[in-house]
Amino acid sequence: MHFMLVLYAGDYRNAWYRIQSGKPSTWHGHSFMVERFSEMSQHHQVTVLTCKSEKFHQETLPDGCRVIESGLTDPVKQHRELVAIVAAQKPTHLMVRAPMRSILRWATQQKDLRTIAALANSYHQNSWRDRLKNWRTAQLFNHPKIEWVFNHNINSSYSLQKIGVNPAKIIPWDWPQTWSSREPKTFPNYAKTEPWTMFYVGSVITAKGVGDGINAVAKLRQAGINIQFKIAGKGDIESFKHQAANLGISDAVTFLGLIPNVEVIDAMAAADFVLISSRHNYPEGFPFTINQALLSRTPIIASDHPMFKGILQHRESAMIFPAGDGEAIARCAQELITASTLYASLSQNSQSAWEFLQIPVRWGDVIDRWLADTPGDRQWLADHALQSGRYQARIARLTDA
């Protein structure tokens, strides 16, 4: 067996060396991927390909897993070169972790290649271009040679069904996790000299609403509220520093850069609010920051992104604001600052909200069941498909939201 994983971007090689040297990973999924592929490499040939990278590189890691960085800066336009790289490896089992249609189309034409898609993407129908693109995507995923389409959690999986993918092929999945033993928070009741703190972690880009959070801080400062905004992640940091400077709040905004994933929940717990501010044009699947924020027990201020519907409920598990609206973020924060009962109830409700989001299929199950391919494993996968009826409570809340 030659198992090949195709990633759109990222640096699996660097993640592997960080983990092996005892350094913490910067993304929750890295440790699970490294553990699984290191184990597989003891018995099978395993290759991890990154589609988008600055330079070409290939290397066999000490655990036997082979990594390839394509050297393609625009793999969608350079699809012929990308497919040639995949074809040259001659995999027997292909797992595509991004909706790379060129690779999936090629896979459907290969007689002896088994293929699945394992995604973390959402799909919307906002324009005729979206509808055409989604129709093509659905036709591809419905091809008999694409055995299963895994997507991250319920909302993103349901979005696949809505664009026409057969729900019998769609299986929601999530990373392994357990509930922490943190106690609910009470209202901070800060003295005037101690600032309130808002924390964000993720890509530092416009579509994730980082600038909206900075605008909110400016509004709160104008209202006389002492607040600090801490931003963790990498991206277009310089432009947001300029935005904060232009608003006269450079002293209120701190850019932390990438922080180890193991530190994220503690950083959230140390803050007074967690901001999850994605705009509608960002193709969220199911951001793991929602799980982490609930685990931290810190009240969440979240946008009304379509992928958050039915996950977070206004004034029950989060404060919800119209995406892209910095003034609305500020109003949510002001309400929490002045309503001790609301603040405490959001923290108290976080455990039941987290429990409601949990689903049975985990990352390891996706790979193990598919590769084992016994009648029992195939039945288990079918029993966990979107049409199985297991997820009706989540889908009902999503469609009623």
Lowest model confidence (mean pLDDT) among 25-34, 82-91, 392-401: 392-401
Residue 306: pLDDT over 90: no
Q: Give all strands (DSSP E) within 144-291, no chain letters.
A: 146-152, 170-173, 196-201, 227-232, 253-257, 273-276
More confidently predicted of 287 and 267: 267
More confidently predicted of 397 and 290: 290
Query: In which band, very low, low, confident or very high, does the pLDDT at 309 lie, cut at 50, 70 and 90?
Result: confident
Q: What percent of the chain lies above the pLDDT cut of 90?
A: 84
Residues 6+ apart with CB under 8 A from 68: 47, 48, 49, 50, 57, 58, 85, 89
In this prediction, residue 401 carries a pLDDT of 56
Residue 166: pLDDT over 70: yes
CB 205 within 8 A of CB 236: yes
Which residue type sits at 36?
Answer: R
Q: Which residue has the tokens 């803050």?
A: 271
Query: In which band, very low, low, confident or very high, does the pLDDT at 122 lie, cut at 50, 70 and 90?
Result: confident
Residue 40: pLDDT over 90: yes
Which residue type sits at 57?
Answer: H
Supply the mean pLDDT for the chain.
Answer: 94
Query: Is it true that domain 196-356 has CATH number 2.70.70.10?
Result: no
Residue 400: pLDDT over 80: no
CB 171 within 8 A of CB 386: yes
70 backbone dihedrals φ, ψ, rounded to 5°? -65, -30
pLDDT digits (tens, 9 = 90+) for 50-96: 999 999 999 999 999 999 999 999 999 999 999 999 999 999 999 99
The mean pLDDT value for 317-341 works out to 96
The mean pLDDT value for 129-142 works out to 94
In this prediction, residue 256 carries a pLDDT of 97
In this prediction, residue 35 carries a pLDDT of 92
Residues in the chain: 401
The mean pLDDT value for 250-263 works out to 95
In this prediction, residue 204 carries a pLDDT of 97
In this prediction, residue 43 carries a pLDDT of 94
pLDDT digits (tens, 9 = 90+) for 333-354: 999 999 999 999 999 999 999 9
Residues forming CATH 3.40.50.11930 domain(s) in the chain: 2-176+359-400
In this prediction, residue 15 carries a pLDDT of 93
Residue 396: pLDDT over 60: yes
The mean pLDDT value for 368-386 works out to 97
60: enclosing H helix or E strand? strand 56-60
Q: State the helix-helix crossing angle for 340-348 and 350-357, rounded to 10 degrees.
A: 40
d(CA 208, CA 201): 10
The mean pLDDT value for 305-322 works out to 92
CATH architecture, range 2-176+359-400: 3-Layer(aba) Sandwich (3.40)
CA dihedral for 380, 382, 383, 385, sign (positive or negative):
positive
In this prediction, residue 284 carries a pLDDT of 84
The mean pLDDT value for 292-298 works out to 96
Integer CA distances (angstroms), 67 to 11, 50, 154, 377, in order? 9, 8, 31, 29
CB 165 within 8 A of CB 140: no
Closest CA to 197 of 295, 287, 301: 301
CB atoms within 10 A of CB 119: 22
Q: Judge if pTM exceeds 0.85.
A: yes
Integer CA distances (angstroms), 250 to 40, 94, 227, 228, 230, in order? 49, 48, 12, 10, 12
d(CA 140, CA 157): 16
pLDDT digits (tens, 9 = 90+) for 145-156: 999 999 999 999
Residues forming CATH 3.40.50.2000 domain(s) in the chain: 196-356
Query: In which band, very low, low, confident or very high, does the pLDDT at 27 lie, cut at 50, 70 and 90?
Result: confident
pLDDT digits (tens, 9 = 90+) for 170-221: 999 999 888 888 999 999 877 667 899 999 999 999 999 999 999 999 999 9
